[in-house]
Amino acid sequence: MNDNEEPGWVNLFFYGAGLSAALALIAALLFGGSAGPLAHGPGVADITINLSGIPVREHCTTCHIQGGLPNVEAHGGRVEFHPDIAPHSVQNLGCTGCHLGEGMALDPEISHGLPGLEARRILKGKEVQARCYACHELNPLPGAERAWQGYVLFRTRACDTCHRISGNGIGGRFGPDLGTIGSHLGLEPLKVAIRDPKRDPPNSIMPRFPLSRGQARDIAFFLKSRVKDPLYATPMQIMAGIQDPPVISMPIPEDLPSKGHLLSSRKCLACHKFGLEDGRIGTDLSAIGAMREREYISVFLTDPSKKIPGAIMPRVKMTAGEEKEIVNFLASRATKPSPVSGANASGYDQEGKEAKHLYMTLCQRCHAASGDGRGLIQPNLANFPRPFAGNAEFFRVTPDQRIVSSIEKGIAGTSMPPYGNLLDKNRSKMLIDLLFEAFIGIPRTEKTTMPPLPVAAEAPSDSKRAETRYMEYCSRCHGRYGTGKGPEYLDFQPRPRNLTNEPYFAAINDERIARAIADGIPGTAMPAFREELSAEDLWGLAALVRRFSAGEVYE
Amino acid sequence: MNLKGRNFLDHLHPALVRSRTLSPMTTLGFGIACLTCFVILAATGFSLFLYYIPDTSLAYERILHITTTLHYGGLVRSLHFTAANALIILSVLHLSRVFLTGAYKGRVLNWIYGLALFFLILLAAFTGYLLPWDQISYWAARVGAGLAESFPLIGPEAQRMVLGGTEVGEETLLRAFAIHAAGIPMLMVILISLHLWRIRRDGGLAAPEKDVDRIPAVPWLYRAEGGVAFLTFAILIVVALIFPAPLYERADPLHPPNPAKAPWYFVGLQEMLAHSVFLGGFVVPVFILFFLFLAPLLDTSPSPGGKWLASDRAGWNSTFLLILIGQTVLIIIGQWFRGPNWSFRIPF
C-alpha cells in the first residue's frame, strides 16, 4: 500500500458535504424557528379561556390583535377592533367559541378551518349566529333571528319527521341523526345538502324540498349549532334525551276544513298536496279517499312500504285515534270527483278541453305536462311514471285492455291510484285518447304482434340454474337480491324494477314476467333476452322473480 | 498502522478495505443515507415524543401545538416527516442496488435482515402516519387496515391486532404510538447493528475480483461515509424547510374523504386491490414476498456478487425491475390518477 493511491476526491467530497450540511443547519436555525412557512413576528399570542369549564387554548390574537383585522398596514392603517358584544365579553368567550376555526393553528388554511368539509370553518358577520344555539337553549334570541327561523323551518317543513336533532326526544329515525351535524359539516356543505340532497350521495332518498336560498341558509344556521359538545345541556341530559326544544305550532291553512287540521299538524302537507295546499314532494291527497280503500290508507299510514315498496315516505308517529281521524277525513272528502265537476263549471264544454283538464289535474303531477314521465314529484316516487311522449314502441306492444285497466284499477305496488271511481268509462276513454293523440303519436289501435313465447318446460326447472343465470344477466341492474339496486342501478332512468315488490307482482301473471324478460321493455333499459336464454332459463327466471316478490331470499 | 487510537466504532470496518469500496458506483451510498435518515428520525422522533400525547381528543391539538407554539417545532416535525419518506425511498433504492449487483450472494442472512428492516420501516411509517389524527391520516389508516383484511387467513387477525379492535379508534392510536415509538426503534437498532456487523463478517462489500488494492479505512472510508451522511442531512434539511409536513383538518370518523387513500407507499397495493381482491391482495403480494426472500437461495448464477447487471442474472434482474417499475407505476396511478370513487382521471 502506498500514498499515491490515496483517493483525494474523498476529502473534497467529505469537506464539501460537511460544508453544505453546516450551511443547511444555519439555514434551519435562521428560517426554521418561526413556525411553519408563515412568519408572524417574534411571538405567538397564546391565551387560554375557560369556556363553561372547558379550557380552550387559542393563538388567534397573534394576527387579529384585539380581535381586529390582521395586517393593519394592508388595510390602509385602519385599526379596527372587535365590536362590543355586550352582554358577552371577548375576554370570557375567546374567539373560537363563536367564530370556530382552529385556535391553535397559525397558518391561514387550517386556522380558518378551510380544508375538507369545513366543520370548523370561520364564521364571520351574520354567520356567527350559527353558534348561538350551541350554548343557548332554543328560544328566540335577539341577534339569532335567522338561526331561530331555521329551527322554525326545521319543524314546520317536516325535516324532523325523518331527522332527529336532540337525543331521543324530537324527530324520526328515517334519516340520519342530525344531533351533531354541526361538528361535521360547514355552513356551505349544509346548504348544499339541504338544497341538492342527491349530489352526494347520489342514491340519497331525501327529496329536494322547495326552499329558497335564504331558507336553506337559515336551516343551515340552525343545524350548525347542533354539535357534539353543546353547552345548552349537560352531557347527562343529552344522553337521556330529555332536553325539550320548544314546540312550534303548525300554521293551519285557511282553506283546510277544520276536521282536516291533522293533515297540517302531522305535517302531511309539508310534502303532499291537498286542495290548494301543496308541499310539492308527494302525491295529491285531495281525492285519495275516492280512489283508495279505507283499509289501504290505514295500512299505508302505518307502513308505507307495505303498499308501495321503496316509497320514501317515512312512518309518521301518531296515535291510533289520530290515524283514524285522518283516514275518516280523507274518506269523507271522497264523494265529489271535484276536478271533473269543476271542469264543467268553468265552461269546459268541449271533450278535448275537458280531457286536457283531466290530464293536468290528475296525471301531470307525476307524468309531467310534457308527458315524458318527469313530473314535479317524479324524483320522489319509488317507480318511474310511464313516459308517454316518445314512448310509442311501448304502447304498440301493450294491449289496450291493460292500458284501460291501469287507469281504472291503478297499478298495485306503485303510486298509480285506481281512477275508476273518479272517472266514468267515457272520461277515461277520453283521457286515453288524449294520451295517444297528444303524446304517444300513434293510433290507439296500432299494435305490434309479438312472437309467441317459448313453451314452458314440463319438468320444473332447476332453481340453481336460474340463480346462476340471474347473477349473470340480471343482478348488475336488479341487484343480487332483486331489490332493483344492483351496482349499476343509478345509471338508468327509469330505474330497474324492484323485483321484491310484492303487491306489483301479485297483480301480474307469469306470462307477462316472461314476456318482459324475453322481449324487453321499450322505453326502459330492459333489453330483450330472447336470443340469450333457452325456454327453460326464461321460465326459470320468471319463477325466480316470483320467488323474489314472495319475499324469498336465496343465498 | 497505529492501532492505539482506535475506538469501539472502528470495529465497524476492518483496518484495510478494498479501494473499490469507496468508488461511488459500488453502493451509491444508499446504505449510509438510510442510516443517516434513521439517526435523524430517532433524534427528531425523541423531540416529538416529549410533546405528543396519544389520545384521540388531544393528539391533533398537540400536533398544532408542536408546529406552532414551539420554537423549531414545525421544522422538527417536517424533518421527521421528510426523513421518514426519504427512508422508504432510500431503502428501496438500497435494496435494488443490492439485488441488481447480486450482492446478496453468500449473504443470505444479511439479506433477510435487510428485508426485515424494510418491513419494519414500512410498519413504522404506517403507524406514524396515524399519529397526527387528522382527516387524511385517520382515513389512510382505515384504508390501510382494510387492505390487510383481504389477505386470507391471517389478514383479519393481523388487522385486529394492529387496530386493537375492529375499528380505528382510541386503542389503535395508543397501539400505533407504542409500536411506532417503542417497539420498532428498539427492533431496528438491533437489526441495524446485526446488519452492519454482518457486512464485516461476510468480508466487507461484495466484490467480484480477488486480491485487489487495499487502502486504510481510517480516514478514507469514514470520510466517504461521513460525506454521504452530511449530504443526506443537508438535503433533508433543505427539503424540510421548503416543504413543511402536511396537516389536514381534524379526523371525522363519520365523513370519509372521497377517495380515501392509503399512505402513498401502500397506494400501489390499494390500486391492485381495486382491480382484483384475490390477485392484487393475495397472489401478487405473496409472489413479491417469496421472490424477495427466496432470490438469494435460488439464484445460482455463477457470476460473483458485486457486479452491476451481470449478464447471467438477466432473468432475475429483469423480474426484479418488472416488480419495481410495476409498483412504481401503480403508486403513481393510485396517487395522482384516481379521483372520487377511485375513478380514473387525468390530474392536469
Q: Which of A232, A143, A230 is nearest to A181 (CA)?
A: A230
Q: Which CATH homologous superfamily contains domain A349-440?
A: Cytochrome c-like domain (1.10.760.10)
Using a CB–CB cutoff of 8 Å, tell me whether B249 touches chain A.
yes
The SS3 of residue B158 is helix
Into how many domains does chain B fold? 1
Q: Do A31 and B241 touch (CB under 8 A)?
A: yes
Comparing CB atoms, the residue among A105, A116, A185 nearest residue B135 is A116
Per-residue pLDDT tens over the stretch B108-131: 899 999 999 999 999 999 999 999
The model's pLDDT over B156-176, given as tens digits with 9 standing for 90+, comes to: 888 888 888 888 899 999 999
Beta-carbon contacts of B219 under 8 Å, excluding residues fewer than 6 positions away, are none
> Which chain B positions have a beta carbon within 8 Å of A21's beta carbon?
230-231, 233-234, 237
Radius of gyration over every alpha carbon of chain A, rounded to an integer in angstroms: 33
- Evaluate the omega torsion of the peptide bond into residue A460 and state whether it is cis, within 30 degrees of 0: no
Q: Which three cell numbers stand for residue B142?
A: 382505515
Interchain CB distance below 8 Å, A31 and B249:
no
Strand A273-274 to strand A54-58: parallel, antiparallel, or no bridges (unpaired)? Answer: unpaired
Q: Report the pLDDT value the prediction gives residue A34, as an integer from 0 to 100.
A: 61
Superfamily grouping for domain A463-549: Cytochrome c-like domain (1.10.760.10)
B71·A119 Cβ contact <8 A: no
DSSP H or E stretch at residue A277:
strand A277-278
Which structural domain range is residue B139 located in? 8-260
Q: Residue with C-alpha cell 435523524?
A: B40
Dist CA A223 CA A194 (whole Å): 11
Give the contacts of A459 (CB within 8 A, at least 6 positions apart). none
What is d(CA B271, CA B344) in angstroms, rounded to the nearest whole number? 11
Q: Which of B70, B227, B238 sits opposite A17 (nearest CB)?
A: B227
Q: Is B3 a domain residue?
A: no
C-alpha cell at A361: 289535474
Closest CA to A133 of A166, A84, A177: A166
Helix (H) or strand (E) holding B17: strand B16-18
Q: Judge whether B286 lies within some domain.
A: no
Task: Please state, in angstroms and rounded to a whole number, the distance separating the CA atoms of residues A203 and A198.
Answer: 6
Q: Does the residue B109 lie in any domain?
A: yes
CA quadruple A92, A98, A104, A109: dihedral positive or negative?
negative
Residue at B330 is within a domain = no
Query: Is A28 in contact with B65 (Cβ distance < 8 A)?
Result: no
Residue intervals of chain A classified under CATH 1.10.760.10 are: 131-240, 258-332, 349-440, 463-549
Parallel/antiparallel/unpaired status of strands A54-58 and B214-216: unpaired
Distance, CA of A59 to CA of A36 (rounded, Å) = 14
Angle at B114 between CA B109 and CA B118, to 5 degrees: 145
Q: Which of B64, B226, B228 lies at the smallest CB-CB distance from A102?
A: B64
Contact B248 A13 (CB under 8 A): no
Q: Which CATH number fits domain A258-332: 3.40.50.1980, 3.90.950.10, 1.10.760.10, 1.10.10.60?
A: 1.10.760.10
Q: Which pLDDT value is given to residue A41?
A: 54
Quote ipTM for the complex.
0.84
Residue numbers in A near B226 (CB within 8 A): 14, 17-18
Residue type, B196: L
As given in the structure block, the three cell numbers for residue A425 are 268509462
Q: Any long-range contacts for B160-168 (C-beta under 8 Å, 24+ apart)?
A: B168/B130, B168/B138, B168/B141, B168/B142, B168/B253
Give the minimum alpha-carbon distance from B245 to chain A in angstroms, rounded to a whole number: 9
Shortest CB distance from A32 goes to which of B19, B68, B75? B75
Q: How many whole angstroms separate alpha carbon A243 and alpha carbon A221? A: 20
Which among B22, B72, B249 has CB closest to A7? Answer: B22
8 Å CB contact of B74 and A11: no
Q: Are B14 and B217 in contact (CB under 8 A)?
A: yes
Nearest by CB to residue B69, choosing from A1, A44, A184, is: A44
Look up residue A303 and give its three cell numbers.
Answer: 307502513
Residue B329 lies in a domain: no
In a domain, B176, yes or no: yes
Phi, psi angles (nearest 5°) of residue B273: -65, -35
pLDDT in tens, A284-304: 998 898 899 899 999 999 899
Q: What's the CATH superfamily of A131-240? A: Cytochrome c-like domain (1.10.760.10)
**Contact residues for A404 (Cβ-Cβ < 8 A; gap 6+):** A428, A432
| pLDDT for residue A343 | 46
> Are A75 and B283 a contacting pair, CB within 8 Å?
no
Nearest CA in chain B to A177: B254
- Does residue B14 belong to the interface with chain A, where contact is any CB pair within 8 Å? no
Please name the residues in contact with B347: beta carbons below 8 A apart, sequence gap of 6 or more.
Answer: B336, B337
Cell representation of residue A507: 297483480
In a structure prediction context, what are the per-residue pLDDT tens digits for chain A, which is 555 residues long?
444 467 778 889 999 999 999 999 998 888 877 644 455 556 778 888 888 788 888 988 888 888 877 766 666 666 678 888 888 888 888 899 899 999 888 888 889 998 888 999 999 889 999 999 998 988 999 999 999 999 999 999 989 889 988 755 667 788 898 988 999 999 999 999 999 999 888 889 999 999 999 999 999 999 999 998 888 888 787 777 677 788 888 888 888 888 888 888 888 999 999 888 889 999 999 889 889 989 999 999 989 999 999 999 998 888 899 999 999 999 887 655 545 544 454 444 567 788 898 899 899 999 999 999 999 999 999 999 999 999 999 999 999 999 999 999 999 999 999 998 888 888 889 999 999 999 999 999 999 888 888 887 666 667 888 899 999 999 999 999 999 999 899 999 899 999 999 999 999 999 999 999 999 999 999 999 999 988 888 999 999 999 999 877 654
And the C-alpha cell for A9? 476526491
Residue B307 in domain: no
- Tell the residue number behind the cell numbers 326544544, with chain if given: A245
B218 touches chain A (CB under 8 A): no
Mutation for testing the B interface, residue in A3, A5, A9, A13 having most B CBs under 10 Å: A13
The enclosing domain of B73 has a CATH number of 1.20.810.10
- Using the Cα atoms of residue A199, residue A200, residue A204 and residue A209 in order, give the sign of their dihedral: negative
The answer to whether the CB atoms of B75 and A46 lie below 8 A apart is no
* CB proximity A35 to B under 8 Å: yes
Task: Say how far apart CA A399 and CA A449 lie, in whole Å.
Answer: 10
Site from B66, B249, B342 to mutate, A interface, most A CB atoms within 10 angstroms: B249
Q: Write down the pTM of the prediction.
A: 0.86
CA-closest candidate to residue A300, choices A432, A145, A417, A211: A417
In a domain, B139, yes or no: yes
